Amino acid sequence: MHLTEEQIHSYLDGLLEEPARRVAEAHLTACADCRRRADELQALFTALGTLPDLPLRRDLTPVLLAKLHPKQSKIESRPALAWSRSLAAQWGLVTGFALWLGMQLAAILELPAVPLPSIPLPVLRLPALPLDILPEQFPMPQIPVPQLPTLDFQTPSFFFLLSSSHLTLLLTLTALLWVMGNAALLRHRPAASSCEVPEGGACRRIQK
């Protein structure tokens, strides 16, 4: 009866305890077939054990140092960042709720819509060189403009009064929430899984 594969491997790995080790040793002395299998494995162990390390083509240190982030600032910045994000989210929720409540109250009390501040247009008007300075030399052609049809537009009314200022506020609020939602979704996550770094044990890495 020959030694099993596991017995030979365990013997060569030094895992067999007495008396199993002595039994295997005696068998290997007597059985040429098992000795040949053990010798082949032992030759492989020697070949693997004497395989020299290859030289590095380049020093990895400069590239690595360029990729490092200062650990101190990384550790300190995290709680502050989390706190500010949380504050921003709370502020956004409170503001949103206040606006919604205000709109509801305005609708119930039938308050007039808040007029938007008028912006004096001349301030925004930029000088138009050909028109302002050289109108005489280059008279602009007069193009007859056809009369446009008048549109009958009525402010849509839902279950509450939606005035232009309400609409503006609603859009602003939506934009604000969108930005904050994105900020929450794109929050910092560590690039590496701590699982790759052995602490007590490592994670399973590979599927059979």
Partner 1 sequence: MSSPHERGLALRAAAGDQEAFAEIVRAHQRAVFNVAYRLLGNVRDAEDAAQDAFLRAWQFFDQFDADRPLAPWLKQITVNVCLNRLQANPPASSLDDDLLPLKDPQPGPEAQTVNRLRDERIRRAILSLPPRYRAVIELRHFQGLRYEEIVRALNRPLSDVKSDLFRARKLLTAWLKDVEG
Binding residues for partner 1 (CB under 8 A): 5-6, 9, 13, 15, 40-41, 43-45, 47-49, 51-61, 63-65, 67-68, 70-72, 75, 190-192, 194-199, 201-208
CA atoms within 13 A on the CB side of 74: 8
The least CB distance from residue 191 to partner 1, in Å, is: 8
Nearer to partner 1, 28 or 106 (CB): 28
Query: Please, are residues 203 and 196 in contact by the beta-carbon 8 Å criterion?
Result: yes
Nearer to partner 1, 58 or 125 (CB): 58
Which residue number, 149 or 190, has a Cβ lying nearer to partner 1? 190
Q: Return the number of other C-beta atoms located less than 10 Å from residue 99's C-beta.
A: 16
Cis peptide before 19 (omega within 30 of 0): yes
**Nearer Cβ to partner 1 (125/208):** 208
Kindly state the smallest distance separating residue 64's Cβ from partner 1, in Å: 5
Q: Rounded to the nearest 5 degrees, what angle is found at the Cα of 153, between the Cα atoms of 148 and 159?
A: 170
Rounded least distance, CB 18 to partner 1, Å? 19
- Round the CA-based radius of gyration of the chain to a whole number and report it: 40
Give the integer Cα–Cα distance in Å for 15 and 3: 15
The distance of Cα 7 from the centroid of its chain, to the nearest Å, equals: 51
Closest distance of CB 40 from partner 1, Å: 5
Shortest distance in whole angstroms from residue 80 CB to partner 1: 17
- Do the beta carbons of residue 170 and residue 178 sit within 8 Å? no
Closer by beta carbon to partner 1, 14 or else 139? 14
